[in-house]
Amino acid sequence: MDRAGFSTFEWPALCPGSNRGGGNDLYTINPATGDTDYVSHVPVIVDSDDPGFDFDPITDRLRVVSSSGQNLSINPSDGTATVERPLTPPDLGIYTAAYSNNFTGTPTSTLYVMGRVSGSQGNFPTVGTLYQQMPPQEGTLVRVGDLGIPAVLTGSFDIGGTTNTGYAILNAAGNSALYKVDLATGQVTLASSSYNSVTPIGLAVGLGF
């Protein structure tokens, strides 16, 4: 894992942990200052540069999924990782994840993930697909629909805890922009102007959205 992933819930961040014998390190992030505090080491190696990462409001665990089919549940207090059933089907190129109804005390929550299937040359195509992973611990992927735009996908996807609206940062024609994601169909619509040549590698929707 070469990139960090983070989530709005308690602002956890998962980063490479090469200085601690492999695996990854878990930090908390102060959203006002950007300061980080080390929490714990996660001994399981995340086997993707672009894993999906979000906080499960039902189990109080961090969910990590990857394009290899890896499916992890991590205790944010001590870094203990449980390897759960691999994603099925295994070849959908899953790379990002977000839970709906992501707030304390929610009675129900659905895990959404995005995927991209390898092309003939081993490269990913430019249109991705939204899936539900249900139940999360079993790894079963249920197709919702294609995103509907010719965009290079990133690991930047989150769902607002207040409005339950999905957001994703996608890169089209070399420029990244923020899109709304229809969780019922998978279709995306432009929500903001371009970030020019900058491609964010993580997205956390703030409180109130």
Q: What is the dihedral of CA 188, 129, 154, 123, to 10 degrees?
A: -140
Q: Give residue-wise pLDDT tens across range 74-106.
A: 998 888 999 999 999 988 888 889 999 988 889
- What count of Cα atoms within 13 Å lies in the side-chain half-sphere of residue 174? 1
Instruction: Check the CA dihedral 118-137-73-8 and report its sign.
Output: positive
User: How far is it, in rounded angstroms, from Cα 28 to Cα 6?
Assistant: 9
The per-residue pLDDT for 181 is: 95
Task: Give the residue extent of every domain in the chain.
Answer: 5-146
Paired tokens of 72: 């992890």
Mean of all residue pLDDT scores within the chain? 81
Residues 6+ away with beta carbon under 8 Å from 19 = none
Q: Please, which pLDDT band fits residue 3 given cuts at 50, 70 and 90?
A: very low
Q: Tens of pLDDT along 27-59?
A: 888 777 878 888 888 888 888 777 888 999 999
With CA atoms as reference, report the closest residue to 8 among 26, 30, 25: 30
